[in-house]
Amino acid sequence: MTADSDIQITDLSDLRPGDKLVARRNGFTHYFGRFDGTAPESVWIIEGVGGLRKRVPLREYTLWRQPEAAGANCLGFRGVA
């Protein structure tokens, strides 16, 4: 389930390095991290846990931006363990 304040990304030009992103498939969060760049038909994120760089294919996932907000966990993400 998405939080009311999460914003679905429909245009990659709206993303800025360091934006907090959540990648979801079928309504479930699979990845969360900070935006690190684009690649053909995908984006790169630095995962919130472990700091690994992951390629997220846009055909398989929807991207959501999480604004800075109160109630975030120690990594700055809401609703993600």
- Between β-strands 62-65 and 7-8, what pairing exists: parallel, antiparallel or unpaired? antiparallel
Closest by CA position to 79, among listed 35, 15, 20, 14: 20
Per-residue pLDDT of the chain (81 residues; tens, 9 = 90+): 455 678 899 999 989 999 999 999 998 999 999 999 999 999 999 997 778 999 999 999 999 998 765 455 545 555 554
Domains, the chain: 7-65 (2.30.30)
What is the pTM assigned to this prediction? 0.74
- Tokens (6 digits) for 74: 């120690």
